[in-house]
Chain A
Amino acid sequence: MEKIIEIENLSKQFKDIKAVDNLNLNVYKGDVFGFLGPNGAGKSTTIRMMTSLISPTDGKIKIFGSSLNEKRNEILKKIGAIVEKPDFYGYLSAFKNLEMLGKISGKEISSKRIMEVLELVGLEKRYTSKVKTFSHGMKQRLGIAQALIHDPELIILDEPTTGLDPQGMKEIRDLIVYLSKEKNKTIFLSSHILYEVELVANRMIIINKGSAKVEGIVEELLNSNKLRVTFEVDDTEKTKLILNNTLWINKLETELNGKFIFLMQQEEIPGLNKYLVQNDIAVKAVIPTRSLEEYFLNITQKES
């Protein structure tokens, strides 16, 4: 499979802070690649290095098979990016902003094309409005429009749903799926929301404190792992008693205030539930948590 992005041992040091630490990742053609991590994990710093806004302290970035350092302009012609919050020239209209950016995108951009992308993000009726009159959500949409204006092969989206309402978030997710499936674009999607990545990405990486923690195919990462399942029961002592001398006790991780937490496969849940009920234990709740989700929540909570 053709590699679109190859990052090797990438690091960025800001005085005494190592924002990115020896990061390695590969993105393949056609991927919707989820770049997941809590706030401050180094996602935006990595994207800034990928878009030549900042230079790496160490490591290599190859995009479309060429070194970003050596073929910067050729590579950027084929990239559309939103980096962090969407900022524009507020004293110009949405159309003028796109027209201006289109002129320096390395392609001839017609007025028709500008209106097409504005329509794609739902801003066609506001094309003459000055951007300073736009809400955050509208600026976010315009950010996507400027990333798409020159029909790039690789689209880098840094937290594209930040500040959007649920409907707006869904529309952006639908747009990502459309660009991937219908337009065959490769998409690099940075997010701090696992759910968002899960819905659209096929491959993903979780980074924290600048380095990769988990990488792989989204479906495998989310579904093949064991679940951490909490059984909430009415009689703690009786439950402990009947679990002793069974195989279930080996899967029990901990017990606290009537909540028994097991590490188990999803298909094992009905069996344990049935066993407890048959032994006259009232099961008040069964709460499964995927280990990856829990892991991600843990690192997010620790960071915050």
Chain B
Amino acid sequence: MFNLVSIELYKIFKKWRTYIGFIVVAVLIPVIQIAMLMEGQRSINFMTRNLQQSFLFVGNLLNSYFVSYLILNSLAIHIPFLIALVAGDLLAGEATGGTYRILITRPVSRFSIVTAKFIAGMVYTFLLILWLAIISLGLGTIIFGTGELLNYSNGSIIILAQNDVLWRFLLAYGFAVLSMGVVASLAFLFSSLVENAIGPIISTMAIIIIFMIVSAINISLFQSIRPYLFTNYIDTWRSFFDNPIDVHTVIKSVLILLAHIVVFYSAALFVFKRKDILT
């Protein structure tokens, strides 16, 4: 299995498309950071406009934590596409290239092939989020320095002490890996069904967009199905910045997302084990 996973990782990182995600993050995040450097103070003033008459805000509020927190808010929008770009290609790419034939005629089970590809897809997801964290927090710290985290949650302002923030970010990025893992597994499932990688990418994005729209519209029918949509749990990472953290909500979200990953992986395995390779 280790051999297979290393081969799959090697293949992933030898493809140009893999680096699109890393390049996008490396370009997009500094652009946001520069924009925040120029306009960020205005955002902070806007957030604190009602409090400034009664309180005096001191210290470096426009810091890397604040900017990284804002960047994480866009997680559900731009990262899923970058994940689907690679995860959607994992199985379908072999069909497109005709390379299933040289792979499956080797003495390795289909279970091993699917599992190795799935693990490799998860490793890619982890590395992309890690890269996001490094650029957001690392470069952010160089540009803005650190400080207290000013955070708006459930109608109130929360200010977290500087030494109380980093561990929350680590958990938030960990949770982001899990939620993006669901996106990767969904793209992987679609990848097992078709023979070109465009379909899985578009299908995954379509599902995410539809689920998000359904979640956002305040109609009782939509609200009743909302708990069953995985997109509903993607932003649970915000809970890590509440004080105190709503552990129950976090655990529930983690379990639901993990269940989605297991279901999507199992379905992909079921499809692939029965698939006739005709390409």
Contacts and interface: CB of A to CB of B under 8 A. Distances in A.
Contact of A76 (B16, B101, B107): B107
B97 A52 contact: no
Nearest to B11: A89
Contacts of A84: 101
Interface string A146-159: 10000000000000
A87 B276 contact: no
B108 interface: yes
B101 A53 contact: yes
A100 B14 contact: no
Interface stretch (A102-110, A190-198, A223-231, A239-247): A102-110
B105 interface: yes
Given A53-B276, A89-B11, A76 B98 contact: no
**Max chain B C-beta neighbours (<10 A), residue from A100, A104, A105, A146:** A104
B108 A88 contact: no
A146 B102 contact: yes
Contact of A104 (B10, B99, B108): B108
Nearest to A80: B105
Given A103-B7, A104-B3, A89 B106 contact: no
A92 B13 CA distance: 11
A103 B2 CA distance: 11
Interface string B70-101: 00000000000000000000000000011111
A67 interface: no
Contact of B102 (A54, A72, A74, A88): A88
A74 B3 CA distance: 18
A87 B7 CA distance: 17
A104 B101 contact: no
B20 interface: no
A26 B106 CA distance: 23
B276 A101 contact: no
B157 interface: no
B219 interface: no
B104 interface: yes
Contact of B7 (A72, A85, A100): A100
A23 B65 CA distance: 69
Nearest to A78: B107
A103 B108 CA distance: 11
B87 to A, nearest CB: 18
B248 interface: no
Contacts of B4: 104
A51 B102 CA distance: 10
The size bracket of the interface on B is 20 to 34
A76 B105 contact: yes
Contacts of B99: 87-89
B56 interface: no
Interface in B91-135: 97-109
Contacts of B277: 48, 53-54
Contacts of B104: 51-53
B10 A100 contact: yes
Contacts of B276: 48, 53-55
Contact of A103 (B3, B16, B101, B102): B3
Contact of A83 (B7, B10, B101, B106): B101
B278 interface: yes
Given A48-B278, A104-B106, 20 more contacts: A51-B101, A51-B104, A52-B105, A55-B276, A72-B107, A73-B107, A73-B109, A74-B107, A77-B107, A81-B105, A87-B98, A87-B102, A88-B102, A92-B14, A100-B10, A100-B11, A103-B3, A104-B7, A104-B103, A105-B106
19 contacts: A51-B104, A53-B277, A54-B278, A55-B274, A55-B276, A74-B107, A75-B107, A77-B107, A79-B105, A84-B101, A85-B98, A87-B101, A89-B14, A100-B10, A101-B106, A104-B3, A104-B106, A104-B107, A106-B106
In the A-B complex, the 10 residue pairs with the smallest Cβ-Cβ separation, listed nearest first, are A87-B98, A54-B276, A76-B107, A53-B277, A73-B107, A77-B107, A51-B105, A106-B107, A104-B106, A83-B101
Interface of A: 48, 51-55, 72-77, 79, 81, 83-85, 87-92, 100-101, 103-106, 146
